[in-house]
C-alpha cells in the first residue's frame, strides 16, 4: 500500500543514506495518487493526495489528510536542494504536481469521492490527522502544512510564479500566527 506521508519519511531516510535514485522514483510516482480529473470516481478541487492506495494506484482509503499533501511538496523541495532534481525538472514538477498541492493547502476546496460527499476542506483544519482518528486542528498536520507552503513558495520563485510564491508564504505565516 502507498501512503504519501510514508513515502516522504522513507525516501528522506534513503536520501540521508546516500540513495539518490529511489527517492526520485518515489517522488515521481506520487503523481499517480494525486487527485485530478483522472482520479476514478472523483470530482471536486484537485491537488490533494489520496490517503492510501494500492501500488497500482487503485484507491483503498480516501480520507483527506493535509500532511499527506504537504509532504510531497517538502520531498520535491528537498530533492531539488540536494541536486537530485534539476531546476528544469523542479519547475516542471511544480507546474504539474506541486502547485495544485500548494493551492489546495492554501485554498482548500470541495471533495467528492467514496464516503466523502461534497465535503469542504478549509486548511489547516483537517478531516483526519496523522493517526486517522481525529478531525480538526492538529499540531502535526499544521506544522506539515506550514513547512510545505514555505517550500512551495521557494519552488514557485524558481518557476518565476512570484504571485503564488507570495500567496503561499502569506498563508504559511497566517497559519503560524494563528497557532495560539
Q: Which residues are catalytic?
A: 129, 132
Do residues 12 and 78 touch, judged by C-beta distance below 8 A?
A: yes
Q: Is 34 helix (H, G, I), strand (E, B) or coil?
A: strand
Concatenated DSSP letters of 152-178: HHHHHHHTT-HHHHHHHHHHHHHHHHT
Q: Roughly how many angstroms between the first and final C-alpha of the chain, as a whole number? A: 36
d(CA 79, CA 130): 23
Q: Which three cell numbers stand for residue 148?
A: 510545505
Secondary element (H or E) of residue 85 = none
d(CA 157, CA 78): 15
Amino acid at each position: 500500500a502507498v501512503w504519501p506521508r510514508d513515502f516522504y519519511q522513507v525516501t528522506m531516510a534513503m536520501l540521508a543514506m546516500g540513495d539518490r535514485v529511489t527517492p526520485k522514483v518515489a517522488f515521481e510516482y506520487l503523481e499517480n495518487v494525486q487527485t485530478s480529473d483522472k482520479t476514478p470516481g472523483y470530482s471536486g478541487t484537485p491537488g490533494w493526495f489520496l490517503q492510501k492506495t494500492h501500488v497500482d494506484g487503485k484507491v483503498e482509503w480516501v480520507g483527506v489528510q493535509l500532511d499527506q499533501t504537504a509532504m510531497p511538496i517538502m520531498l520535491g523541495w528537498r530533492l531539488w536542494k540536494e541536486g537530485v532534481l534539476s531546476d528544469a525538472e523542479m519547475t516542471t514538477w511544480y507546474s504539474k504536481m506541486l502547485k495544485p498541492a500548494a493551492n489546495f493547502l492554501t485554498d482548500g476546496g470541495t471533495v467528492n469521492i467514496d464516503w466523502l460527499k461534497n465535503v469542504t476542506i478549509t486548511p489547516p483544519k483537517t478531516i483526519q490527522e496523522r493517526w486517522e482518528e481525529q478531525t480538526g486542528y492538529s499540531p502535526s498536520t499544521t506544522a506539515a502544512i506550514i513547512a510545505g507552503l514555505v517550500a512551495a513558495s521557494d519552488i514557485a520563485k524558481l518557476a518565476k510564479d512570484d504571485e503564488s510564491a507570495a500567496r503561499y508564504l502569506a498563508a504559511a505565516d497566517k497559519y503560524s500566527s494563528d497557532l495560539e
